[in-house]
Amino acid sequence: MSLYAIGDLHLHYQSVLKAPGQLHGRVWKNHEEKFRKNCAKTVTPEDTLVLVGDHSWGKNLLECERDLQYIRDLPGRKILTRGNHDMFWDVKKTGMLNEMYKPELTFVQDSYDSYQDYAIVATKGFTFEGPFYIDRRGRIVGWDEEEEEHARKLVARELVRLRKSFDLAKDAGYRKFIMFLHYPPTSILEERSGFTDMAEEYGAEQVIYAHSHGESRFHDSIHGKYRGREYHLVSGDYLRWKPLKILE
Ligand SMILES: [Fe+2]
Ligand SMILES: [Fe+2]
């Protein structure tokens, strides 16, 4: 029995791909098939697969039906967390999604799930992504301060949601945590953040995040051992569509 994670499937069986530039490149060619085959090889029906946001380009649930069916047909138990492109998933409709897709899919928002004696805590997160002003040598010399202020508010809201997820799990008796974010835990300007601080405060053993696409973004945030925790980027193109084993 194992716990796996991957993010950013960006399925679009019934919808228009809205970032064709972002999703060009060999790694995205037939990525649905590559991922399906990799899952069939590695994930067993007893395993759990956490999908870390950006599931579908669909604007609403109708446009996501086949995408969610694809996810449903993957092996193992599937846990979904929210990404910035998941327009079908209004926070207030999480209960309805869980009703519709149980028992194969679990949508985690303002709640937690579990794997063995670990709590799976999750929120979308947020990271300031610019615009940055760069000099001729490629050094950052400034950034859009209004956007940064806006980002601060979104980060604060997401930290409230993350704390709720941790506290619900803690109140239920969990003492071991794996923390999932869609956005990277730090921006390119930060060495630590409210998210890394919270991971440390609750003793999360691992922090799993996605969202960063393309070679130039893969190292925007933390990789590996850092301040006592293990950080892993699991965006699908980074993993080349092979789900990452998080726990045995
Ligand atoms: Fe994405
Ligand atoms: Fe994203």
Residue 23 has a pLDDT of: 67
Please give the distance, rounded to the nearest whole angstrom, from the Cα atom of residue 117 to the centre of ligand 1: 30
3-class DSSP state of 112: strand
What is the pLDDT at residue 132? 87
Q: How far is the CA of 76 from the centre of ligand 1 (A)?
A: 23
Q: How far is the CA of 245 from the centre of ligand 2 (A)?
A: 21
**CA-to-CA dists, residue 71 to 31, 52, 150, 167, 169, angstroms:** 13, 12, 33, 29, 26
Q: Please give the distance, rounded to the nearest whole angstrom, from the Cα atom of residue 201 to the centre of ligand 1.
A: 28
Beta bridge partners of 208: 180, 232
Distance 97 CA to ligand 2 centre (A): 20
Ligand 1 centroid to Cα of residue 35, in Å, is 15
Q: How far is the CA of 172 from the centre of ligand 2 (A)?
A: 30
Mean pLDDT of the chain: 94
Digit-coded pLDDT (tens) for 18-34: 666 656 788 998 999 99
In degrees and rounded to multiples of 5, residue 3 shows phi and psi of -110, 125
Ligand minimally distant from the alpha carbon of residue 56 = 1
What is the distance between the alpha carbons of residues 127 and 211, in angstroms, rounded to a whole number?
10
CB atoms within 10 A of CB 102: 10
Give me the numbers of helices (H) and strands (E) for the chain, helices first please: 5, 13
Given a cut of 90, is residue 160 above it in pLDDT?
yes
Centre of ligand 1 to C-alpha 171, Å, is 32
- Taking the C-alpha atoms of residue 185 and residue 203, their distance in angstroms, rounded to an integer, is 15
From the CA of 19, the nearest ligand is 1
> Could you tell me the distance, in angstroms and rounded to a whole number, from the CA of residue 18 to the centre of ligand 1?
11
Cα(30) to centroid of ligand 1, in Å? 16
Output the CA 134–ligand 2 centroid distance in Å: 23
Q: What is the pLDDT of residue 199?
A: 98
Q: Residue 68 above 70 pLDDT?
A: yes
- Report the candidate in 84, 52, 91, 58 with the shortest Cα–Cα distance to residue 235: 52
Q: E strands, the chain, where? A: 3-6, 48-52, 77-81, 105-107, 112-115, 118-123, 132-134, 140-143, 176-181, 206-209, 224-226, 229-233, 244-247
Nearest ligand, measured from the Cα of 236: 1
Q: pTM for the whole thing? A: 0.95
What's the whole-number mean pLDDT along residues 57-68? 94
Q: How far apart are CA 155 and CA 127, in angstroms?
A: 7
Q: What is the 3-state secondary structure (H, E, C) of 43-62?
A: CCCCCEEEEECCCECCCCHH
